[in-house]
Amino acid sequence: MYTHFWRAIAAGIAMLGAAQVAVANEAGDWVIRAGGSLIQPKSDNGTLDIGPGAGVSVDSQWGFTFNVSYFFTPNVAVELLGAYPYQHDFTVSVGGARIDGHVDHLPPTLSVQYHFLPNERIRPYVGVGVNYTMFDNAHLDAPVNVRFDDSTGLALDGGIDFGINERWLVNLDFRYIHLNSDTHVAGADVGTVDIDPFVYGINVGYRF
């Protein structure tokens, strides 16, 4: 999985070999970016109050993401991140037993970003914002219902836009999202799942 990600990055950077000089960022610009992202939750996702030593682990997942940015100035933009609903696999461990499950989630994120070097072809940026993650269709491979509450948390991001020409660009981005969810099994509150993922993305963008 990670090999495919780094190959995609290498392919995106290789596209820049024949790049033309890009037009600078300007106030009033809109930029749309779309591509793939790897969501990598932290390794220890918490304990559950359903038995001795009960815990949960959340797997990494690839998914389609897109974002839209509006530039108030050549340096300052606001970005809305969206995605096709992800399905995340997770495992609940109770004693020596392991029970698999999955849940869909949608993580819209609104950020304010500062773009460095707006007149250059390679334009890094950083941002801060808020994430709201909605969970749905949670399922556990056991005869009990499971539910995850929606989450609101801090989101940090950074990235680089590589201008190909005056309209097209390749983008690499990195995000950290503070994401945790109160978890309910059979209607009872059993604890909090701490996901707190790092997100690595590669995108193609268009400016208009």
**What's the CATH number where 15 sits?**
2.40.160.20
Q: Are 204 and 170 in contact (CB under 8 A)?
A: yes
Taking each continuous run of H as one helix and of E as one strand, the counts in the chain are 1, 14
d(CA 109, CA 130): 6
Average pLDDT estimate for 111-123: 95
- Tally of domains in the chain: 1
Q: Are 86 and 61 in contact (CB under 8 A)?
A: yes
Other Cβ atoms less than 10 A from the Cβ of 12: the count is 17
Q: Is the pTM of this model over 0.75?
A: yes
* Structural domain that includes position 202: 2-207
**Does residue 130 have a pLDDT over 90?**
yes
58 DSSP β-pair partners: 90
pLDDT of residue 19: 47
pLDDT of residue 97: 84
pLDDT of residue 96: 77
**Does residue 21 have a pLDDT over 90?**
no
**Does residue 166 have a pLDDT over 60?**
yes
Alpha helices in 17-164 (DSSP H): none
Residue 80 CA, distance from chain mean position: 12
3-state secondary structure of 103: strand
Q: What is the mean pLDDT of the chain?
A: 88
